[in-house]
A and B are shown apart, each in its own frame.
Chain A
Amino acid sequence: QLQLQESGPGLVKPSETLSLTCTVSGGSISSRTDYWGWIRHPPGKGLEWIASIYYTGSAYYNPSLKSRVTISIDTSNNQFSLTVTSLTAADTAVYYCARENYDNSGPLDYWGQGTLVTVSS
């Protein structure tokens, strides 16, 4: 059974940089049929897709965040990561990592439990 687990700080200060890691177990992050993505859910708002990456390093970004976001992948450790710079209170959200299953046209079928990130001084 595929499992994903987010890790990272729960509290970060405005203007600082957030780094999150997603560890994948029960399957290979080098799967040729999967992309790996980050999604966030700000309190009281809807879901927002942030970015996705393939095992080769090919990545796609949400244009609204692209200037501040970097997604990367570490196939040797079966992990992928997200970096968000210049944080503001608007970046406060639960951050999820998930698998995009291209065998089934790309839906997010496995998710981590989510990690709450609060941006506050």
Chain B
Amino acid sequence: IQLTQSPSFLSASVGDRVTITCRASQGIYTYLAWYQKKPGKAPNLLIYSASTLQSGVPSRFSGSGSGTEFTLTISSLQPEDFATYYCQQLNSYPYSFGQGTKLEIK
């Protein structure tokens, strides 16, 4: 199953609302997770089952979608949110990741 994220690069300012899209090549129900990746750090799970917020993750992060189209929304960007974001499908092995969306400061 291939995952395509858009956009690949996103420039935004602190306080902005941003949305990242992940499209699957076939239906995956809600078996989708989102991760945040910062340089030199392990990925951090943000969202699982498409819309469930992982414990400890700020509520400004939210996820939605089912089937083949999913979104990750950050309601009000904070300085610590500038990172690369990846979606991952968990519907069937081999699990696969999207190519990533790099969120940069404008």
Q: Footprint of B on A, CB under 8 Å?
A: 37, 39, 41, 46-49, 52, 60-63, 96, 98, 100, 104-109, 111-114
A107 touches B88 (CB 8 A): yes
Report Cα–Cα, A49/B3, bound state, in Å: 13
**Across the two chains, which residue of chain A brings its CB closest to B92?**
A60
B77 at the interface (CB under 8 A from A): no
**Across the two chains, which residue of chain B brings its CB closest to A51?**
B94
A62 touches B43 (CB 8 A): no
Report Cα–Cα, A100/B33, bound state, in Å: 11
Q: Which of A49, A63, A96, A105 contacts B48 (CB 8 A)?
A: A105
**Across the two chains, which residue of chain B brings its CB closest to A110?**
B45
Which one of B14-22, B66-74, B97-105 contacts A? Answer: B97-105
B94 touches A62 (CB 8 A): yes
Report Cα–Cα, A48/B93, bound state, in Å: 13
Question: Taking the nearest CB of chain B, how far is it from the CB of A12, in angstroms?
Answer: 21
Residues on A with C-beta less than 8 A from B88 are 47, 49, 107-108
**Across the two chains, which residue of chain B brings its CB closest to A47?**
B97
Please, how many residues of chain B have a CB less than 8 angstroms from a CB on the other chain? 24
Residues on B with C-beta less than 8 A from A105 are 30-31, 48-49, 90
Residues on B with C-beta less than 8 A from A107 are 33, 45, 48-49, 54, 88, 90
Interface of A is mostly: strand
A52 touches B95 (CB 8 A): yes
**Across the two chains, which residue of chain A brings its CB closest to B5?**
A46
**Across the two chains, which residue of chain B brings its CB closest to A109?**
B45
Other A-B pairs beyond A46-B97, A105-B90, 19, CB < 8 Å: A46-B99, A47-B35, A47-B97, A47-B100, A49-B94, A60-B94, A61-B94, A104-B49, A105-B49, A106-B33, A106-B48, A107-B54, A107-B88, A108-B35, A108-B43, A109-B54, A111-B42, A111-B44, A113-B42
Kindly identify, within residues 7 to 52 of chain B, every residue whose CB is under 8 Å from any CB belonging to chain A: 30-31, 33, 35, 37, 42-45, 48-49, 52
**Across the two chains, which residue of chain A brings its CB closest to B100?**
A46
Report Cα–Cα, A113/B41, bound state, in Å: 7
Report Cα–Cα, A114/B39, bound state, in Å: 12
